């Protein structure tokens, strides 16, 4: 009976959800024995092949990466902080996470951006690169505040972080590499009376619900698909155990799991457009896109001429009012396709598309796939 080690800390929902995915896969394997470091699992011993036939681990230090690389058994890392050619990785797509954050903040109207990250780790760097690409800024010019992960986890006040926050232009949208950094940045901004979200808009990663909602104001966050990371990590272990030549790889197998949606809370409940009329229009669209609103409804709400609003809207947002309404509906449709088993027809209706045929046309134009095939992928 293969013994599969699970080396997780179980100190946050990331580990718990990853473990849930591993267990879901293992239930179909009658000959697997799981040995782990939390919950109802037995303590994991790091003595190599005599204790485990394979390991799924959250590797967050260079020392741990070296130790796991020396075990001589299949190892799958689910963190992506430190890379070794002996260690396979099934992890969140961190570049796509950063890109999603940048796209979301740009839709709010952000034009000034900054990044809070963890220094010298692969996943934080990838999130930064994706963020800068979506924001249209070079990495070298992006204002950054980077410290070690233990530094972010400390509750000690930081004059350096306060000083950095003061120097940012107003308003600035800050992407924080995880919720821990986001909560700490919010606390320091509050200490120096920087209003959130009007002067600073903050977005984290992980959607640690308790952590995000307990801080004041609550923190918006990019949700990750942790259960799928665990499930696919276990599937990769299964493949390696059936293929002995894969035990010591020349090249590691790397599986990237796309992030999920942005969970909105108080830290991003603002439209950052400088033109007040455009901001008013965007707020109206965000509030009412799931109704059968038209461009005329938006114009009427803003009490300006249609031509005036359309010119100002296109200059500020880079798209027409009609395109903005369609984009919001498509974003909502993607959420429903991912998170529910509603029919395509019901989703089209819920998102206020005039008919299912129009929904198909717009969806395929935006994503290169029909809604049904996109859901299957």
Structural tokens at position 237: 């272990």
For residue 49, pLDDT beyond 80 = no
Cβ 111 vs Cβ 135: under 8 Å: no
CB-hemisphere CA count at 13 Å for 358?
A: 9
Q: What is the C-alpha to C-alpha distance for residues 92 and 18, in angstroms, rounded to an integer? A: 11
Q: What letter does residue 95 receive in the DSSP assignment?
A: H
CA 102 to CA 328: how far, in whole Å? 16
In angstroms, rounded to a whole number, what is the distance separating the alpha carbons of residues 75 and 59?
10
Q: pLDDT, tens digit, for every residue of 150-200?
A: 999 998 999 999 999 999 998 999 999 999 999 999 999 999 999 999 899
Neighbours of 175 (CB within 10 A): 33
Give 246's pLDDT tier (boundaries 50, 70, 90). Answer: very low
Q: Which two tokens stand for residue 183?
A: 């909560």
Q: What is the pLDDT of residue 271?
A: 81
Chain CA centroid to CA 226, Å: 11
pLDDT (mean) for 56-75:
89
Q: What is the CATH number of domain 3-92+225-257?
A: 3.40.50.2300
- What is the tens place of the pLDDT at every residue in 94-137? 999 999 999 999 988 888 999 999 999 999 999 999 999 999 99
Residue 144: phi and psi, rounded to 5, are: -135, 145
CATH number of the 94-224 domain: 3.40.50.2300
Answer yes or no: CATH 1.10.10.60 is held by domain 276-376.
Answer: yes
Q: Are 316 and 308 in contact (CB under 8 A)?
A: no
What number is the average pLDDT over the span 298-326? 92
- Interatomic CA distance for residues 314 and 250, integer angstroms: 51
- Whole-prediction pTM value? 0.81
More confident residue, 53 or 37: 53
Joined tokens for residue 220:
């918006």
Task: Mention every residue, 6+ apart, whose C-beta is less than 8 A from residue 154.
Answer: none
pLDDT higher than 90, residue 51: no
Report the C-alpha dihedral over residues 229, 235, 237, 240, rounded to 10 degrees. -140
Q: In sequence order, what DSSP letters do the residues of 317-335 get, joined into one string?
A: HSS-HHHHHHHHHHHHHHH
Give start-end residues of each CATH 3.40.50.2300 domain in the chain: 3-92+225-257, 94-224
Reported as half-sphere exposure (CB side, CA atoms, 13 A), residue 27 has a value of 7
Report which of residues 217 and 30 the model is more confident about: 217
Spell out the residues 6+ positions from residue 341 whose beta carbon is closer than 8 angstroms to its own. Answer: none
Q: Are 302 and 284 in contact (CB under 8 A)?
A: yes
Q: Quick one: pLDDT band at residue 46, thresholds 50, 70, 90? A: low
Residue 146: CB atoms within 10 A of its CB come to: 18
With a cut of 80, say whether residue 314 has pLDDT above it.
Answer: yes
**pLDDT reading at 1 higher than 60:** yes
Q: Tens of pLDDT along 328-374?
A: 999 899 989 988 999 999 999 999 999 999 999 999 999 999 999 99
Task: Give the residue among 325, 320, 319 at the shortest CA–CA distance from 289.
Answer: 325
Give percent of the chain with pLDDT exceeding 90: 66
**Domain limits, CATH 1.10.10.60, in the chain:** 276-376
């Amino acid at each position: 009976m293969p013994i599969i080690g699970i080396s997780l800390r179980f100190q946050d929902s990331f580990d718990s959800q990853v473990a849930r995915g591993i267990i879901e896969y293992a239930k179909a394997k009658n000959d697997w024995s799981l040995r782990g470091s939390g919950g109802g699992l037995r303590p994991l011993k790091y003595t190599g092949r005599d204790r485990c036939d394979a390991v799924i681990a959250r590797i967050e230090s260079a020392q741990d990466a070296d130790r796991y690389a020396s075990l001589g058994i299949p190892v799958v890392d689910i963190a992506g902080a430190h890379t070794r050619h002996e260690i396979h990785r099934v992890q969140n797509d961190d570049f796509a996470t950063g890109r999603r954050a940048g796209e979301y903040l740009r839709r709010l109207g952000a034009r000034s951006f900054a990044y809070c990250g963890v220094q010298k780790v692969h996943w934080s760097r990838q999130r930064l690169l994706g963020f800068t690409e979506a924001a249209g800024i070079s990495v070298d010019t992006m204002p950054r505040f980077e410290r070690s992960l233990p530094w972010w986890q400390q509750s000690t006040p930081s004059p350096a972080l306060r000083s950095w926050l003061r120097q940012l232009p107003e308003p600035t949208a800050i992407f924080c590499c995880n919720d821990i950094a986001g909560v700490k940045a919010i606390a320091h901004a509050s200490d120096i009376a920087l209003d959130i979200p009007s002067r600073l808009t903050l977005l984290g990663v992980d959607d640690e619900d308790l952590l995000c909602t307990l801080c004041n104001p609550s923190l918006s966050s990019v949700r990750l698909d942790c259960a799928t990371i665990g499930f696919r990590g276990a599937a990769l272990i299964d493949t390696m155990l059936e293929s002995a030549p894969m035990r010591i790889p020349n090249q590691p197998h790397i599986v990237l799991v796309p992030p999920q949606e942005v969970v909105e809370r108080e830290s991003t409940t603002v439209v950052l457009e400088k033109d007040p009329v455009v901001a008013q229009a965007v707020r109206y669209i965000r509030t009412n896109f799931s109704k059968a609103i038209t461009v005329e409804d938006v114009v009427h709400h803003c009490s300006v001429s249609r031509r005036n609003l359309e010119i100002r809207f296109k200059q500020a947002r880079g798209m027409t009012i009609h395109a903005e309404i369609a984009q919001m509906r498509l974003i909502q449709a993607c959420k429903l396709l991912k998170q529910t088993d509603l029919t395509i027809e019901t989703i089209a209706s819920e998102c206020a598309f005039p008919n299912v045929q129009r929904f198909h046309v717009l969806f395929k134009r935006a994503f290169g796939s029909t809604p049904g095939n996109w859901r299957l992928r």
